[in-house]
Structure 1
């Protein structure tokens, strides 16, 4: 499912969250934006899969079925911008996004 969200510049912003669930998302732009998966809450949280977008290749974030805690897909951008990404809830074996190039 292709989604577009307005992401404010500054700190990490959550675009998708999961509770005891799995999911996969593909991001491509804007170049220079950072993406990651954040597990847990507050001081007890930790980051995984931190990547930087280059505006050309798709980057994939995955939250597995072992995620019994809260998990969030987050984006950080240098300036406020719309971010379009392709997200699939559940345990799917998608390897390429549906976002038109």
Structure 2
């Protein structure tokens, strides 16, 4: 079962919600509309890289999946156009992926 979390985010930069080193977890988002989500791997700029870039639309649940196949440090990050709260669901390993694969 997932853990529902909410955080107040300030606009203007990518904000880290969850992170892990050689970790495995899934995060689902639904709203707020126009918020951008991604996974940031590595130590940061200029050595890091982004993956799974998506924009929330209030219509479809969006998933980010971090697997332990990478030894890099992984961060779930969000960018919001204005200060706002964001609610998401965190699924830690082991997670069978049934929900992830059915979407």
TM-score, L = length of structure 2: 0.88
Partner of 1:66: 69
Number of equivalent positions = 97
Partner of 1:2: 4
1:44-74 CA-to-partner distances (Å, cap 9, x unmatched) read 1000000000012100000012131110000
* Contact 1:22/1:67, CA 8 A, preserved across alignment: no
* Contact 1:24/1:89, CA 8 A, preserved across alignment: yes
TM-score, L = length of structure 1: 0.90
- Alpha-carbon distance, 1:82 to partner: 0.6
**Structure 2 residues not aligned, in runs of 5+:** none
**Structure 1 residues not aligned, in runs of 5+:** none
Partner of 1:20: 22
RMSD over aligned CA atoms reads: 1.4
Q: Which of 32, 36, 39 is the aligned partner of 1:37?
A: 39
Give the 3-state SS of the residue equivalent to 1:41 in structure 2: coil
* Contact 1:65/1:91, CA 8 A, preserved across alignment: no
Q: Following superposition, which runs of at least 4 residues in structure 1 exceed 3 angstroms of deviation?
A: 94-97
